[in-house]
Structure 1
């Protein structure tokens, strides 16, 4: 890097906090640090033109888990852990709404639905059977029954008779949310540098030396908010998981409104701007989708198109407008990894595909670690 005196002086001198990652977690962390340390100098480094992981690439689901996802989580986590996870996701959504405002993020409380294919009969029956139990254990959070069964009114094909409806689920505009967060960071004198990748760091007694290419600068504290790209930091407690997505061209008289889950959350779709956005299919190739490469594969894209044609829009002509991928951070536990790694280095990652729900909260928790 060929930097001038002015660049060194204004951007890379006397830095109190350097945050790696300008996604939901990184920006909320920076804003929380600004409130906590109003006179501090805060720098965010982002390796992409825009946030590189999932913050600008997710589907915009303001959700906390479909009933089949919750039942699946109960097989690997205790009942108390699952309740705490849902409480954290719910609290995170409320914090996001409070921080930015519903109109700014285009919050639409249309509710969420889970549908089950004809050959998913065993999962379908289990969800119907355990619906009262799930409603009961979540009553302390919502003070009401969450999940109810409803007859399909959307004219889906090849599915079981009932959908399971959740009135507390909503959708947001991911782009508007991130644009608002970036604006808020800028207005709070938080510096953001894009297309800057951290190649190494070295901790000293009261600071951290950070390498970006062949240039090294010093910061008092270093905080990582890189989620799916954080495997080396966490000794592989976080693994990347690619999510492939497509979106249709606008569809006249589209009558589908809400957020929809399928196959334990491995597929998900919603309406947006008279289009259908559909993503998922990681379960078709877990090994291949454990990657940080932002590509698409024929196997998964073909399955997404098949679901559109045969299940979601069986009587409607449509065209695919665009395809993309995002990188999530998963692990053996659904609990986020928010830790102080050493004296001056911190990490807030492993959002488990629930970045919209818990990103704001994890950013706050990451900032709270700093004394």
Structure 2
């Protein structure tokens, strides 16, 4: 990098805090540090033009887990762990709304629904039977019943009679959220540099040397908020998980409104701008989708279109307008990793596909490690 005196002086000298990753976690970490250390120099480094990973690529669900996903989590985590996770997600959503405001993120409390395909008899019956149990364990958080059954009013096809409704779910505009977050960071004198790749770091005890290809600088503290790209940082406790998405052209008189889940959260769809946005299908090819490569596959995209034709929009002509993918951070546990990597280096990763819900809180917890 051929840097001038001015560039070195203003961006890379006397840096107090450096954050790698300008997504939901990274920018909330920077804002929390600014609040705690108002006179500090804070630098955020992003390897792409926009936040890479899932922060600008997610479906915009302000959710904390469908009932089938919660019941599935109870098979792999203790009841206490699951309740703590949902509490964190709920707290994170409230923090996001408080930090940015509902108007800025286009927050719409339409509620959430879970559908069950006709061939999922056992999952459907289990979820219906266990509604009272799940409501009971979540009552300390929500002070009210979270889930109840409703007759399908959307004319979906090839599903069971009842949907399970959750009035606490909402949808947001992901692009507006990240735009508001970036604007707030800049307004708080946080330096955000794009297309900067951190190749390595060295904790020297009294500072950290950050290496960026052919250039290095020193920072007092270094934070990694790289989620799906954090595999090497955490000794394989974080695995990348690609999520594929498509969106239709606008559909006249579209009557579907809300956030919708299928199959333990592996499929999800919503209305946005008179369109249907549909994503998921990672469970069709776990090995292939454990990747940091962006892209779409015929297997998953064809299955998403099949769901549109046979379940979601069976009597409606539609065209696919656009397809994309994002990279999430998963692991054997859904508990986020917020921990020191050395004396002056920290990470906040493994958001388990719940970045919108939990990202703001993980960013704050990451800043607290300083």
TM-score using structure 1 length: 0.99
Aligned-partner Cα distance in 2 for 1:306–1:2: 52
Matched, 1:249 2:246: no
- The aligned counterpart of 1:175 is 175
Measured after TM superposition, the shift of residue 60 of structure 1 is 0.3
Q: CA deviation at 1:193?
A: 0.4
Computed over aligned residues only, the root mean square deviation of the Cα atoms, in angstroms, reads 0.4
**How far apart, CA to CA, are the structure 2 residues paired with 1:288 and 1:253?**
37
Match of 1:238 in 2: 238
Separation in 2, partners of 1:102, 1:39 = 29
Report what 1:201 is aligned to.
201
**In structure 2, what is the equivalent of residue 298 of structure 1?**
298
3-state secondary structure, aligned to 1:119:
coil
Q: Deviations over 1:53-107 (max 9, x none)?
A: 1000000000000000000000000000000100000000000000011111000
- Asked if residue 281 in structure 1 is aligned to residue 281 in structure 2, the reply is yes
Separation (CA, whole Å) in 1 of partners of 2:254 and 2:10:
51
Residue equivalent to 1:268: 268
**1:203 deviation in Å?**
1.2
Provide the secondary structure at the position in 2 that maps to 1:88: helix
Looking at structure 2, the residues matched to 139 and 191 of structure 1 have their Cα atoms a distance apart, in angstroms, of 42
* Residue number in structure 2 paired with 1:9: 9
Displacement of 1:205 in angstroms is: 1.9
* Whole-angstrom CA distance in 1 between matches of 2:298 and 2:12: 44
Provide the residue aligned with 2:189 in structure 1.
Answer: 189
Residue aligning to 2:317:
317
1:18-29 counterparts in 2 under 5 A? Answer: 18-29=18-29
- 1:29-108 aligned at under 5 Å gives the runs 29-108=29-108
Q: CA deviation at 1:121?
A: 0.7
Q: How does 1:91-170 map to 2 (within 5 A)?
A: 91-170=91-170
- Give the superposition deviation at 1:332: 0.5
Query: What are the ranges of 5 or more consecutive residues in structure 1 without an aligned counterpart?
Result: none
- Give distance in 2, aligned partners of 1:90 and 1:251: 32
Deviation at 1:110, TM superposition (A): 0.2
* CA distance in 2 between partners of 1:271 and 1:320 (Å): 14
CA distance in 2, matches of 1:171, 1:275: 14
Report what 1:228 is aligned to.
Answer: 228
Residue 366 of structure 1 corresponds to which residue in structure 2? Answer: 366
Deviation of residue 243 (structure 1)? 0.2
In structure 2, what is the Cα distance between the partners aligned to 1:344 and 1:117? 50
Shift of 1:12: 0.6
**Residues of 2 paired with 1:37 and 1:125: CA distance?**
53
Secondary structure of the corresponding residue to residue 294 of structure 1? coil
SS in 1 for 2:130: helix
Instruction: Show structure 2 runs of 5+ residues with no match.
Output: none
Alpha-carbon distance between aligned partners in 1 of 2:348 and 2:280, rounded to the nearest angstrom: 24
- Return the offset for 1:341: 1.2
Partners in 2 of 1:325 and 1:362 — Cα distance? 23
